[in-house]
Amino acid sequence: MAVSFVFSILFAGCKEDVNLPDQPLSEYISVYMPQAANGPVTYNFSTSDTVRSSIIYGANYGGQDYPKEDIKITFSIDGDAVVDSFNTANNSSYVLLPAKSYRIDDPEGVIKKGELATKPFKVTVFTTGENAPDLSKTYILPITIKSSSVKVNEKLRTNFCIINIIPTFFDRAKWNIIDFSSQESNGEGPNNGKAIFALDGNINSFWHSQWQGAQPGPPHYLTIDMGASKTVSGAAFVARQGVSSGRPQDVQIFLSEDNSNWELAYTGSLLNDGAAQKVFFETPSRGRYAKLQINRSFSSNLTHLAEFYLF
């Protein structure tokens, strides 16, 4: 009898102390971008002409049951202020992808009555051509829910996309060297020294400027017919392996459509290093013909080069 009395007091006390606030269902209903749930998403795109680079996005409905009417949603790309806030919060230095370098399919979407998501939408990123961004930078693209007829989950309003564009070297199978300043035809043996060895895919063979019989100094150059006009965003070099003296130091790259009128596409300096080195043009340039000009080499008036690429 005494035990029953004690339990009665305890239960009565608990019932009196619990005072739950009103929790309207609407507080638990919101729309959000599911792509934002795992934080920034990194996309590694290629400069290959055959690959379309795209980002898929959309919005979902969260809450009890299904929406009882259509939910209209507008998407947009946030600007520099949002990127600055993101960089400050994450100690990063991403650059907003230029507007010319992407196309958003449709800024308006609908979560239909009785459904839980919009259809998937797409942002296409231009990695080649005149709209391609500077390939040397890492970009960010904040895709956000700009407006909605239902409350937005603020923590999942924006999908931050980190974008790396990785250069893909042009296929050199149909390239021809149509002119050069000089080459070493004999002194480096049958499988070295000639200009064509800068395009053979073997880093252990190389083009060498002439040194037997004569030693012409800089500028040294190669002129290449790529077989078709291309938009070029940069170049890559592999120096002769194991020999540092004579490696290219100061270089220029020119492009032409007709092998007569040339446009300077790049001027810069390389490291005295046997690893592949990429250089990026300030702006993409177009041409069928390319001329690599070496104006100075490390510790020598001669020069040599294992491989030369464009992308």
Residue 288 belongs to a domain with what CATH number? 2.60.120.260
Query: Does some domain include residue 171?
Result: no
Q: CA 155 to CA 203: how far, in whole Å?
A: 50
User: Considering just the CA atoms, what is the radius of gyration of the chain in Å?
Assistant: 31
Number of structural domains found in the chain? 2
150, 253: one domain = no
Last residue of a domain, one of 116, 132, 166: 166
Would 145 be classed as within a structural domain? yes
- Shared domain for 158 and 200, answered yes or no, is no
Among left, alpha and beta (phi > 0; psi -120 to 50; other), residue 192 is beta
User: What pLDDT score does 129 carry?
Assistant: 79
Q: How many CB atoms lie within 10 A of CB 20?
A: 5
6 belongs to a structural domain: no
Res 63: pLDDT: 85
Residue 296 · residue 220 · CB < 8 Å: no
Residues 206 and 277 reside in one and the same domain: yes
pLDDT band at 17 (very low <50, low <70, confident <90, very high): low
pLDDT score for 13: 47
Domain check: are 69 and 199 in the same one? no
Looking at residue 17, its amino acid is: D
Q: What is the pLDDT of residues 125-177, one digit of tens each?
A: 999 878 889 898 999 999 999 999 999 999 999 999 999 999 999 999 999 99
Among candidate residues 136, 166, 196, the one where a domain is terminated? 166
Tell me what pLDDT residue 38 has. Answer: 86
Round to whole Å and give the CA distance between 265 and 273: 23
pLDDT confidence bin for 26, thresholds 50/70/90: low
Tell me what pLDDT residue 164 has: 95
User: Could you read off the pLDDT of 201-220 as tens digits, one per residue?
Assistant: 999 999 999 999 999 999 99
Three-state secondary structure readout of the chain: CHHHHHHHHHHHHHHHHCCCCCCCHHHHCEEECHHHCCCCEEEEEECCCCCCEEEEECCEEECCCCCCCCEEEEEEECCHHHHHHHHHHHCCCCEECCHHHEEECCCEEEECCCCCECCCEEEEECCCCCCCCCCCCCEEEEEEEEEECCCECHHHCEEEEEEEEECCCCCCCCCEEEEECCCCCCCCCCCCECHHHHCCCCCCCCEECCCCCCCCCCCEEEEEEEEEEEEEEEEEEECCCCCCCCCEEEEEEEEECCCCCCEEEEEEECCCCCCCEEEEEEEEEEEEEEEEEEEEECCECCCEECEEEEC
Closest alpha carbon to 160 in 46, 60, 42 = 42
276 occurs within a structural domain? yes
Residue type, 219: P
Distance CA 285, CA 279 (A): 14
- pLDDT of 18 over the 60 cut: no
Domain, as residue range, for 230: 176-310
Structure-model confidence comparison of residues 226 and 7, the more confident one:
226
Whether 88 and 180 map to the same domain: the answer is: no
Q: How confident is the model at residue 6 (pLDDT cuts 50, 70, 90)?
A: very low
Per the prediction, the chain carries an average pLDDT of: 91
Q: Which residues of 130-141 are buried (b: 16+ CB within 10 A; e: fewer)?
A: ebbbbbeeebbb
Residue 19 lies inside a defined structural domain of this protein: no
pLDDT tens per residue, range 215-274 = 999 999 999 999 999 999 999 999 999 999 999 999 999 999 999 999 999 999 999 999
CATH number of the domain residue 111 falls in: 2.60.40.1740
Are 130 and 35 within one domain? yes
Whether residue 18 is contained in a domain is answered as: no
Kindly report the number of other CB atoms within 10 A of residue 27's CB atom.
10
**Does residue 149 share a domain with residue 128?**
yes
**Averaged over 298-310, what is the pLDDT?**
98
Is 197's pLDDT higher than 60? Answer: yes
pLDDT band at 23 (very low <50, low <70, confident <90, very high): low
Q: Model-level pTM?
A: 0.75
pLDDT value at 4 more than 50: no
pLDDT score of 101 more than 90 = yes
Choosing from 116, 133, 166, the residue where a domain stops is: 166
